[in-house]
Amino acid sequence: MRAETSAMPRKPASFRIDERVLDAIAILAERSGVEPQRYLENYFFARGKELGIIAPDAEPLGETRGGKRSGAGKPKSQDGDRKSEALKEDPDER
């Protein structure tokens, strides 16, 4: 049996798992520098390929989750504030 992966979207899923296993997943994910969900997906994708459940030439889905965006959460720069203030001023008063 092979799972087809072409244009396959991610689906939400939930499982009841031993808390110790969840802790282990969190530690392994942190060591790998990824989120636990990403770690599990990568692990089982590779394992599925090893066992022939996922086609050997299949590629994992690209990153579609939000993640960090450059500049997110940074305060606005002082220059940007000055520029917006300058635009509000009356051009005759400059």
Q: Residue 5: what pLDDT?
A: 46
CA–CA distance, 69 with 64 (Å, rounded to integer) = 13
Q: In 10 A of CB 28, how many CB atoms?
A: 14
Angle at 46 between CA 33 and CA 32, to 5 degrees: 10
pTM, full prediction: 0.57
Is residue 80 pLDDT above 90, yes or no?
A: no
Mean pLDDT across 57-73: 70
Which has the higher per-residue pLDDT, 26 or 87? 26
Q: In 10 A of CB 39, how many CB atoms?
A: 19
Q: Residue 88: what pLDDT?
A: 57
